[in-house]
Amino acid sequence: MKKGKLVSNIVLIGMVSLFVDMSTEMVYPIIPLFLTASLGATPAIVGVIEGIAESIASLLKVFSGYIGDVYHNKKRLTFIGYSASVFYKVFLLFASSWVGVLFARIVDRTGKGIRTAPRDALVAQSSEKEKLGGSFGLHKMLDMLGSSVGALFAFVFVAANLPYHTAFLWSIIPGVIGVLLISLVREEKEQFQTREKLTLKGLQLDGRLKLYLLAMFIFCLGNSSNTFLLLKARARGFSASEVMLLYFIFNVSASLLAIPSGKISDKFGRKAILVPAYLIFGFVYLGFAILSSKASVIILFIAYGAYTAFISGAERAFVAEESPAGYKGTVLGIYGMLQGIGLLLSSIIAGAMWQYVGADAPFWLGGTLGLVSAVVIAVILGTGKGKSLPEQIQ
């Protein structure tokens, strides 16, 4: 495949994410308000909903990644996964209790679990090796751009005091457009396809990658759903429409920084971006626990966008390049699975801590784990692009 086609394939995948994420973010920041204000759900229930939905997604990621590697059907899995996002909005239209929202979220996260690893593998497959971070950064930029537009629509819906179901209905349109664009994406047949069929038993991971995934999983225990950031802003005195604007600011920040951070990780090594990312997360979460002024909350949402941009491109690039040949989708699926399990546990923990300990407690936990993780990951990645730890841990 020629270079121009490589770039266009990554852009096409990014455009799919742009429209589907626009659709999703038109309703995502509204969901906690819908649950708590209209359906009477508590923060603990919100945590349970997010945790259950994300756990299902996490378990599916490794299997969809493996199936995509073995049967070379990454594009088909991506289509199925993104289509579920459209059905999610339809089910929200009929939700009259938190149980209905839970069912809709399960459908949505099931789709995410099916599509994420094959989609990331398509990005890696379509990228030049030395520009992997930039490629994931480009995809993330388009993804977050769509999220920004979606969050802006959410603000308009809330500011105009429109019924929540109006937002759910309008969100279906960009979702359908994104799914239709998948037909233009190309999946290349990789060189190893004639080898003996890939098996999970034969999967051998580099020791440094194993340690990184372990550290990332422990960090995720404090990285609860973004829903809690929105609820925290509401508790700090922001109106419902202002909360939507905060979420918009977060998405714009992430979108603007996604490509530069990915390119920096290509040039100076993944450590140059990943360690600062975890540090930023730690300080942001501690900031949510300590600071109370509206100006500080706005700055924290901007910084959280920077964390999201830094972590997304560089971390996926690191996992992809450290994966054994032929297993990129599988290992990216394992990575996503660990993230999802961590999000399950952290969301349940955060909801319980918020309700029974205090609204600041989840942020003290997340901030502490973020700072500790930054130190641990700095050691794991060593200096520069070299490997300072044993290549393989038995």
Portion of the chain with pLDDT greater than 70, in percent: 92
Task: Report pLDDT for 202.
Answer: 61
How far, in Å, CA of 354 to CA of 348, rounded?
Answer: 10
Task: Report pLDDT for 315.
Answer: 93
Q: Is the pLDDT of residue 5 over 80?
A: no
Arithmetic mean of pLDDT over the chain: 87
Task: Report pLDDT for 189.
Answer: 65
At 54-100, the pLDDT tens digits run 777 777 877 888 887 877 888 999 999 999 999 999 999 999 899 99
Maximum C-alpha span of the chain = 60
How many angstroms separate the Cα of 302 from the Cα of each of 25, 107, 369? 17, 30, 20
339-345 average pLDDT score: 82
Tabulate helix, strand, coil % of the chain (nearest 5).
Answer: 80, 0, 20
Q: Is the pLDDT of residue 144 over 70?
A: yes
348 or 305: which carries more pLDDT confidence? 305
168-197 average pLDDT score: 81
Which of the listed CATH numbers 2.70.150.10, 3.90.1010.10, 1.20.1250.20, 1.10.10.10 matches domain 3-188+203-381? 1.20.1250.20
Task: Report pLDDT for 199.
Answer: 54
304-316 average pLDDT score: 93
At 191-242, the pLDDT tens digits run 544 444 555 556 778 889 999 999 999 999 999 888 889 889 999 999 988 9
Question: Exposed, middle or buried, 311 (CB in 10 Å: 0-12/13-18/19+)?
Answer: buried
Q: Is the pLDDT of residue 394 over 60?
A: no
